[in-house]
Structure 1
Amino acid sequence: MANETAFDASRKARTSYASQIMRLAGVADARIERAFAQVVREAFLPPPPWTAISMGAALVTRDLADIYDNVLVAIDPERGINNGEPALHAAWFDAVSPQPGESVIQVGAGTGYYTAILALLVEPGGHVEAFEYEADLAAQAKRNLRDYSNVTVHAGSAFGRVLPSADIVYVNAGVLAPDTEWLRALNPGGRLIFPWQPHKGWGPAVLVRRQAAGLSARSLMNVGFISCSGTTETISVRHLPTEADLAAIRSLWTRAERAPDASAVAVYEQVWFSSEEV
């Protein structure tokens, strides 16, 4: 009876939480709301007490209501690893619009909470290839996602490796520049979303789409993510891009396909951002 009561409390909390997250994110997609309502967040967290973090303030709690809110929840405070802000991810899901039957590569699965939501959004017929660099987190994610038959968890970096083709590449860690293998993996019409962080600890989320003429790119909201492990990219411009530069991007190119020109906003070893439309 106690377990049934706890399950009912969780289900009730999730229903209210999902509605709240949609309002905060400005998202109207009922499929995304249902996915947030379905996935049990506490199943992907350490045992209570939990540390919920909002606006820099931390709350240590055993109350389910406190984690079914738009808060980060600590996974490993020493490494700065958290279960991320739900409204941000709801907005990202809306931006990349996962559809039934599509394939997703997730970079930085953590313990698998947002992997589970992605897995629901591509059902039926879709699949998620989830990569997690930290071996202990990858092991936890595999356990947590064992009932999700359309998810494969890989223990290792998704940076600098050949990847399967995908309709969506969803990156949960900040990078100085996107990996060219993420770009090569995109199917026609494919979408990549990642935190571009040329400045330490912050920068815009960038939405990239593979179009017939090339890769379009748009800056979305500013975000701050833990840095992606295993990256090697270094900046080759003499100064960091300004906030105006970050907002001005309209396309993304590999240097192998097109040399940087006067439209370049930021140039890296393998890729560069342009202010020109594709």
Structure 2
Amino acid sequence: MPQEGFDQYRRAYARQIARLAEIRDGRIEQAFATVPRETFLPPPPWTVISMGVATQTSEIADIYANVLVAIDRERGINNGEPALHAAWMDTVGPQAGETVIHVGAGTGYYTAILALLVQPNGHVEAFEYEADLAAQAQRNLGAYASVTVHAASAFGRVLPKADVVYVNAGVLAPDAEWLRALEPGGRLIFPWQPHKGWGPTLLVTRRGGGFSVQSLMRVGFISCSGTTERISVSRLPTEADLEAVRSVWIRSDRSPDSSAVAVYDDVWFSSEKPGD
């Protein structure tokens, strides 16, 4: 197929994703229209997954839709739903010149889109725990000079300062280093899955009085590799608690009090807003 045909598919796809995600930032549509999704996928035939139904296809048009595409079905690793990522990106609002930490970069597709959103002069630090995926991401992102790929976990390590921490793996609790990495006004978005499986997306913003939390859409992500066994919990949240969360604290900065709705080794969630 001539390059013009691929470009047409991407433009139509980007318009569809922008509409489904109801995005406000037109740069996101442009980024989805620019990055070739097929570059970040295994060779065809591809397995596309929509509404839980998997279908094999070699048609390029089929991957330019709001579908998951399998990266490794045995491990449950997919190139995630585009409209969900577009909505997340619109929420955290990466801006030109900012630094993004991408946790769970996979083979790099959404890393590439984030990289476009922080240009010019921005940078993305991409972490991928699975060594084979990190190697693929390194190859796939070779043309993106503003991206650094780390074949390592982003848990339990000091991270560079960042304006956005974008987490693509379900966690029982955020790592305290993700919070410490945030610049003033910095945003962290991640899938909170305290009971495994589905859970709310949390948007954390670093403010003068602490880290505010906003609960967004419910999502289901594969668990962050190599982390859950290192996290213990002294109080698990109920479903009602999930909706009550208004802030998150690093325990070395502030001990849990009567407002606590979930308490972990290094962080805890509160029903009070920062400064209350």
Where on the TM-score scale, by shorter chain, does this alignment land: which range?
Answer: over 0.9
- Aligned pairs for 1:207-246 within 5 A: 207-231=203-227, 232-237=230-235, 240-246=236-242
Equivalent AA in structure 1 for residue 124 of structure 2: V
CA shift for structure 1 position 141: 0.2
Q: Which residue of 1 aligns with 2:28?
A: 32
State the alpha-carbon separation in 2 of the partners of residues 192 and 52 from structure 1.
29
Match of 2:16 in 1: 20
Q: Percent identity?
A: 72
Partners in 2 of 1:9 and 1:175 — Cα distance?
40
Q: Describe the SS at the equivalent of 2:234.
A: coil
Counterpart secondary structure, 1:168: strand
Q: TM-score when scaled to structure 2? A: 0.97
Residue in structure 2 matched with residue 51 of structure 1 by the alignment: 47
1:145-156 alignment, distance < 5 Å: 145-156=141-152
How many residue pairs match? The answer is: 272
Verify the 8 A CA contact 1:145 1:151 in the aligned structure 2.
yes
Show the counterpart of 2:180. 184
RMSD: 0.8
What's the CA shift for 1:265?
Answer: 1.1
State the match for 1:166 in structure 2. Answer: 162
Are 2:109 and 1:113 aligned?
A: yes
Q: Which residue of 2 aligns with 1:102?
A: 98
**Aligned counterparts of 1:23 and 1:244: Cα–Cα separation in 2:** 31
Give the C-alpha shift of residue 235 in structure 1: 1.8
Contact kept in structure 1, 2:172 and 2:196, CA below 8 Å: no
Alignment of 1:61-100 (within 5 A): 61-100=57-96
Contact 1:176 1:197 in 2 (8 A): yes
Is 1:275 the equivalent of 2:271? yes
Cα distance in 1 for partners of 2:222, 2:10 equals: 27
SS of 1:79's equivalent? Answer: coil
5+ residue gaps in structure 1? Answer: none
Structure 1 CA distance for aligned equivalents of residues 47 and 5 of structure 2: 19
CA contact (8 A) 1:218 1:247 kept: no
Following TM superposition, the consecutive aligned residue runs of length 4 or more in structure 1 with deviations greater than 4 angstroms are none
The runs of 5 or more residues in structure 2 that have no matched partner are none
1:51, 1:43 → 2: CA distance? Answer: 15
User: CA shift at 1:202, angstroms?
Assistant: 1.2
1:264 matched to 2:265: no
- Whole-angstrom CA distance in 2 between matches of 1:181 and 1:229: 17
Q: Which stretch shifts more, 265-274 or 122-131?
A: 265-274
User: TM-score scaled to structure 1, two decimals?
Assistant: 0.96
Say which SS state the counterpart of residue 190 (structure 2) adopts.
strand
Cα deviation, residue 9, structure 1: 1.9
1:267 Cα deviation from its structure 2 partner: 0.8
Q: Which residue type is aligned with residue 108 of structure 1?
A: G
